[in-house]
Chain A
Amino acid sequence: MQRQLANMKQSLFDQGYLDEQFVQLEELQDDANPNFVEEVVTLYYRDSARLVQNIDQALEKSPLDFSKLDSYMHQLKGSCSSIGAKKVKSECTQFREYCRVGNGDGCKRSFQQLKKEYATLRKKLEVYFQ
């Protein structure tokens, strides 16, 4: 079981879903806070869900408010990087780049991709934490 877990984790890292920051979180976990990582990840998903929703709504508007979108994305990126969600984070960067140049379609596409990665990671982590 342990090995399974270890393998799972390793694959998450190998596939680039998680990065070094996740390791930092794990290192913070101790007897006093045995579920620290899970706690943080849960917190992340809860808080970022709100952001994702905001971005979705903002993308519906016309014309697009790029600075606002960028601001949301900056926050989301901060959260992602805190837990080590590597792929999601790189999608954030991509999105921000589109924002910077004012490419609305690019933003929307990128965001779709981001949501996908976001959901995928969540599932994987759910399995991992079980």
Chain B
Amino acid sequence: MDLGVKSQPFTSSNASWKSGDVVPGQFPAGLKVLVVDDDPTCLRILEKMLKNCLYEVTTCNRAEVALDFLRDNKNGCDIVISDVHMPDMDGFKLLEHIGLLMDLPVIMMSADDSKHVVMKGVTHGACDYLIKPVRIEALKNIWQHVVRKKKHEWKDKDVEHSGSVEEGERQQKFPEDVDCSSSINEGNWKNSKRRKDEEDEVDDRDDTSTLKKPRVVWSVELHQQFVTAVNQLGIDKAVPKKILELMNVPGLTRENVASHLQKYRLYLRRLSGVSQHQNGLANSFMGPSDPSFGPMSSLSGVDLQALAASGQLPAQSLASIQAAALGRPTSKSAVPLPLVDQRNVFNFENPKLRFIEGQQQQSDSSKQVNLLHGIPTNMDSKQLATLHQSTLGNMNMHVHSQTSQSNSLLMQMVQPQSRTQLLNEINGSHVSNIPSSVGQPVLSRAIPSAVLGRNGIENIHGPQYTSLSQPSTSADYSSQSTEFSGNTFPLASSSGMSRGLLPNYDALNVNQNGNQDWRLQNVGSTFGPPHHSNIQGGLDVSRSVLIQQPVSSSQKGGQSRIPSANKAAFSLAEGFTSIPNVGQQLNFSASDKSLRSKAERLHETGFQNGLFSERYGQEDLMSALFKQQQEGLGAVESEFGFDGYHLDNLPV
């Protein structure tokens, strides 16, 4: 079953794992693998081999289709195997995109075993490189990458994320525009408390907010525009409003841009390898319940910079940023990492969340910025913190709530850490990013409904992905990764990137000015530029923005979700204008293939860290908080689909 060859771009081999979770005792059976290769022979062989390993396989012969799939099915994939040489997109670009969008582990493969190519894989963050012809023995152990990544994430996230993923999703439930803050809060709290599995999230993802914003799909082109705009403005000055203006894309809202910006920043940050620190920072941000954006902001700004410079974002700044973004109180709540359970491998948010959480923990609680300001008043900072944490954990992009989203974005962006990290992050949370709505379902594969549900992807089986056209995920990635370094953001520029996904990235290279250039992006291309610095730059900006936002719950009123903190950040940046879209935007989940919607979302979030955080933050945070409180690690379960696996094994 090849994707793209027939009408169905995705084919899924095992319909058995409906729940999307690996049966505890059978791990790694049920591991969800996405294989991307333009060679049908190879694809067929790999598919069979993976099936024989008892994995759940989805095949795809085009990179764009793969990205769409990932975007739309946050929990639909645990690991990606991709060929290096493909006609529509260079494998490394795809790698970057995936790294940006979701923290999934990616294995490259090729008949080419020359050292420089293998090295390229390493620098782009691939977690492994297989030489063709691939033997089944080599595939049997790929699960280790998933586990490793999750473990890594969990560590980073620490408590905060416990169940963040789930929470994140929950948070999404919170309408962005917190009109009914109280109800929202309740909803949020409830959700987070539950830390349920993702099924709940699914709904959330879809947009619980009263404001239904069309999902923006950040296609490659859109992302490219975004990156260009950001670069033009300068990463420091890139505020959603201006970016939006520059982009001049009809239908794109500031929130979209803000959330995308947030993600982008997180991505850059991640590429720069500051995730660890960032986590700490996030913590710090999250910590203080009251909006300490002020201090945080400065901190974050500085921190970010510092991080950028050193590649290690000061925990605080990161935390703050993240906190801001996430709107989650960084409190060190011992959120068990868990949230990773959201497991969306694709969850974009997760990585972010995770990242943030990690930071949070590190940073002292004092710093906890109360990103959650925006969060409905009900939530006290503590809750917020929890939420953040949880959201962070969840990082699902799903999190409808803006805050959560933003948080996750932040997280993600913040963790520029090397691509590998990104990839790692991707694993857990990326999935979530994929817009649940997906509808697109080309993936006929039996993506566990639960998984899908969570992400709102309900049916992955639905529409086929043939269209894949929009590389929304790519776009996301691009924004995040802002390749600043002028290098060709590998995604975009990589040779042969037809999609132009990352054209934006190149544009972003611009940002190098001052702040940390997010060079990380160059991951693909140049490897040279200090990644850290790059990302930092972007992140810093976002962070400061985030921090600044006074958490005014009023902000979105409806947004309630923690977002305000996040929003604040964003708004600061630009005079924050309500981030309504944040929630939606963040949902990378490509509920629809429409590029635009995604783009919007991303855009908005992009620059407005707050926005991102808002999106994710609020909901995520809320849920995260609740979750954490409630369940601790328990919830993690199925993120990876290995129920028994996660969290339990991971040291929290």
Q: Point out residues on A near B: beta carbons under 8 Å.
A: 21, 24-25, 27-28, 30, 33, 36, 39-40, 43-44, 47-48, 71, 74-75, 77-79, 81-84
Contact = CB atoms under 8 A, between A and B. Distances in A.
13 contacts: A21-B135, A24-B49, A33-B48, A44-B41, A75-B39, A77-B111, A78-B42, A78-B110, A78-B132, A79-B42, A81-B133, A82-B39, A84-B133
Contact of B41 (A33, A36, A40, A74): A40
A81 B132 contact: yes
A25 B39 contact: no
A86 to B, nearest CB: 11
A39 B44 CA distance: 9
Contacts of A71: 85
A98 B633 CA distance: 59
B40 interface: yes
A25 B504 CA distance: 42
| Most chain A C-beta atoms within 10 Å of own C-beta, residue among B39, B52, B83, B112 | B39
A25 B45 contact: yes
Given A82-B39, A83-B41, A74 B135 contact: no
Nearest to A47: B40
Given A40-B44, A74-B85, A74-B111, A79 B49 contact: no
Contacts of A28: 45, 48-49, 52, 136
Nearest to A42: B41
A76 B111 CA distance: 10
A36 B42 CA distance: 13
A33 B44 CA distance: 12
A15 to B, nearest CB: 20
Contacts of B41: 40, 43-44, 47-48, 79, 82-83
B83 to A, nearest CB: 8
Give me the 4 closest cross-chain CB pairs, A-B, nearest first: A78-B111, A44-B41, A81-B133, A21-B133
State the main secondary structure of chain A at its contact with B: helix
A81 B110 CA distance: 11
Contacts of A84: 133
A27 B111 contact: no
A47 B111 contact: no
A108 to B, nearest CB: 23
A82 B45 contact: yes
Given A24-B133, A27-B136, A74-B85, A82 B52 contact: no
A24 B135 contact: yes
Contacts of A79: 39, 41-42
A41 to B, nearest CB: 9
B47 to A, nearest CB: 10
A47 B135 CA distance: 21
A33 B134 CA distance: 19
Contacts of B111: 74, 77-78, 81
B436 to A, nearest CB: 32
A48 B38 CA distance: 12
A53 to B, nearest CB: 16
Contacts of B85: 71, 74-75, 78
A36 B47 CA distance: 11
Contacts of A44: 41
Interface string B479-496: 000000000000000000
A33 to B, nearest CB: 7
Nearest to B111: A78
Given A77-B111, A79-B41, A36 B133 contact: no
Interface residues of B, number: 20
A44 B42 CA distance: 9
A71 B111 CA distance: 12
Given A28-B45, A40-B45, A77-B111, A47 B39 contact: yes
A3 B422 CA distance: 54
A89 to B, nearest CB: 9
Nearest to A39: B44
Contacts of A24: 49, 133, 135-136
B501 to A, nearest CB: 21
A39 B43 CA distance: 12
B42 A82 contact: yes
Contacts of B112: 74
A102 to B, nearest CB: 19
Contacts of B132: 78, 81-82
Nearest to A19: B133
Name which of A21, A28, A75, A82 has the most chain B CB atoms within 10 A of its CB. Answer: A82
A36 B48 contact: yes
Nearest to A43: B41
A88 to B, nearest CB: 13
Point out which of A28, A71, A83 has the most chain B C-beta atoms below 10 A from its C-beta: A28
B498 to A, nearest CB: 15
A78 B39 contact: yes
B241 to A, nearest CB: 44
B131 to A, nearest CB: 9
Contacts of A33: 48
Contacts of A83: 41, 45
A46 B112 CA distance: 23
A122 B202 CA distance: 50
Interface string B17-40: 000000000000000000000111
A48 B111 CA distance: 15
B138 to A, nearest CB: 11
A86 B503 CA distance: 41
Contacts of A77: 111
Contacts of B135: 21, 24
Most buried by B among A39, A48, A75: A75
A25 B49 CA distance: 9
B48 A82 contact: no
Nearest to B109: A78
A81 B44 CA distance: 14
Contacts of A21: 133, 135
A21 B111 CA distance: 13
A73 to B, nearest CB: 10
A6 to B, nearest CB: 23
A33 B36 CA distance: 22
Interface in B116-145: 132-136
B483 to A, nearest CB: 25
B475 to A, nearest CB: 27
Nearest to A41: B41
Contacts of A75: 38-39, 85
B46 to A, nearest CB: 9
Interface in B525-548: none
A21 B133 CA distance: 7
A33 B112 CA distance: 30
Nearest to A81: B133
Interface in B133-183: 133-136
A46 B52 CA distance: 25
A79 to B, nearest CB: 5
A81 B132 CA distance: 7
A33 B51 CA distance: 11
Nearest to A71: B85
